Chains A and B, each alone.
Chain A
Amino acid sequence: MRALTSFRLWGLAPAWVLMGLTLIVPVAIVAGVSLADRGPYGGFDWALNFGSYREILFTLGWTDELEFAPKYLVIIARTLGYGLVTTAICMALALPVAYVIANARAGWKPFLVYLVTLPFWVSMIVRVYAWLIILGNEGLAEKAWKFLGGGDVDTFLFTNGAMLTGMVYSYIPLMVLPVYAAIEKLDPALLEASHDLYGNRWVTLRRVILPLTWPGLSAGAILVFVPAIGTVLEPMLLGGGRQMMMGTLIQTQFGGGRNWPFGAAIAMVLMAMVVVVLLLNARRAAAATEART
């Protein structure tokens, strides 16, 4: 028995070493760096300085007085907004699609699931690039728009629509799969019972299907929202860098802008947002489990 326990701990050791070295210690360092002084040529000098966090909200005026400056707050709000809208669109799309797949003939189901996952195996950068071609100057989107009698457009690129299209396209399989799993588990007799008790399709959708697939939808929402608010590629390529998001803001602080402590501070804020979402989800899941038992 004792030998078994020690084997157990040894088996976990490599995972702890790897994650400790590459994640736990580094994130602690990032937290430290966010409090450091900015180095003259990038990099940083250790210190205890909340300046980087202050910089998110305020700028220093000529006479060292703090002036409220919302430019970074706008970026944070935009990031949250894109994350939420992307998640909402994914939910609205995934529910009917997953429902149709789950109710398809048995022979078709695996194939349709395969079709949903296939684009996800294609490199992210290739997928975003594909939308760049479609939405770009004289691209397919523009031709279709003119064919349908639409007026002159400057470009579809670098718009909210382009960003959202790219983000939804990138993350939608992460929503369809858990929702599909939830609908697949749904006992058809429950739908029949609802109709039997005088519920029409919409009543059944609202009062039976939606509540019972909610675990799948919320799992999908986490899977979409977390990478969506950390996204880098879509804003850089489809947003043209004009619409800065937190991911790109962090990236520039470690590249061209070179303010490591400020970049680290933004990274901590982003991480805090994700942690809050995960904690809320964990609480919801625990409450749901409790309600079931």
Chain B
Amino acid sequence: MSRRDHDIRRYPGARLLTAVFFLWLYLPIAVVIGFSFNQNRLVSVWTGFSTEWYAAALANKALMDALEVSLTIAVIATIGATTIALMAAMVLSRAPAKGIYRLSEAVVNLPLMLPEIVVAVAVLILFSQLGIADGMVKLALAHTAFCTPFAFLPIRARLQGMSRDFEEAAQDLYAPPLTAFRRVTLPLIAPGVFAGAMLAFVMSMDDFITSNMLNSGGSTTLPVYIFSLIKRGTTPELNAISTLMILASLVIATAALVLAARAMRREA
């Protein structure tokens, strides 16, 4: 007769529910990937394997233009947001959490506290008032703003978890402040900076609401373009585009995870 421990941590059904949850989580992604190889023009009727829709997607000039806009904006927003977030995090992790510093922390995180559609409307009205017509400038500014808290949070968390002793040790060993920052603080918070930059990049690439609101000639981002395709009807080409985007996200997310894990192992 086998004896089993009375495992008080187990709740009947929870594991099954979790398994179903994960299936449900990945079902849509699997469906999109699967149908992207469908020969048939109709999305939901499978007739045979084909990669022609990938060829069509890659030959789509408008799609490539949108991708270029998205990448350009994402790179600018990532650099801008990460720099601003890093500066703010360096100050705020050392300052007392009161007065102007406490307020500043809230200001940096402001985009997280407002509904995005409100932010989108606000910048639209602002740019119309300022008479800024250049779509790229508008997008770059707006994206930098809403990406900043995403870059800020991991950097702040990393600085919070870092003992100040390292910085003091560097200064004690004759490193002037800038050297101490470059050679000790920055390498130690690098995983946080990297995670923040990744998040900012993904958030910028992903954004629909603001980009759609600011959409004007020549500044159509990838999600906005995909939205216009969806409005015209589902096609296998759309599935191929989506699959490529899923793969890109997968690569970025995995890279972020691997780097974070490596950083953690080094310190263990």
A: which residues have CB within 8 A of B?
7-9, 11-12, 14-16, 18-19, 21-27, 29-30, 33, 43, 93, 96-97, 99-101, 103, 110, 114-119, 121-127, 129-134, 136-140, 169, 172, 188, 191-192, 195, 201, 204-205, 226-227, 229-230, 232-233, 237, 246-247, 250-251, 254, 260, 263-264, 267, 270-271, 274-275, 278
Contact = CB atoms under 8 A, between A and B. Distances in A.
A133 B118 CA distance: 29
Given A23-B119, A124-B206, A29 B32 contact: no
Nearest to A102: B9
Given A99-B11, A134-B28, A201-B8, 4 more contacts: A22-B126, A233-B209, A247-B117, A250-B118
A278 B15 CA distance: 34
B128 A23 contact: no
A201 B10 CA distance: 9
A23 B29 CA distance: 35
Given A26-B122, A99-B14, A232-B209, A117 B116 contact: no
B113 A278 contact: yes
Q: Which 3 A-B pairs have the closest CB atoms?
A: A230-B115, A130-B28, A26-B122
A139 B147 CA distance: 36
Given A12-B91, A118-B250, A263-B121, A18 B84 contact: yes
Contact of A8 (B15, B94, B142): B94
Given A134-B31, A191-B8, A123 B223 contact: yes
Interface in B1-52: 8-11, 13-15, 17-18, 21-22, 24-29, 31-32, 35, 42-45
Contacts of B62: none
Nearest to A103: B9
B115 A14 contact: no
Contact of A23 (B90, B110, B213, B246): B110
Q: Which of A30, A93, A122, A191 has the most CB of B within 10 A?
A: A122
A284 to B, nearest CB: 16
A136 B226 contact: no
Given A14-B84, A140-B31, A230-B116, A126 B242 contact: yes
Contacts of B43: 133, 136
B205 to A, nearest CB: 7
B120 to A, nearest CB: 8
A1 to B, nearest CB: 13
B246 A122 contact: yes
Contacts of B200: none
Contacts of A101: 18
Contact of B9 (A124, A191, A271, A274): A191
Contacts of B87: 11-12, 14-15
B27 A27 contact: no
A204 to B, nearest CB: 7
B216 interface: no
Nearest to A94: B21
B28 A29 contact: no
Interface string B111-145: 10111111101111110110000000000011011
Contacts of A140: 27, 31, 44
A205 B11 contact: yes
A172 to B, nearest CB: 8
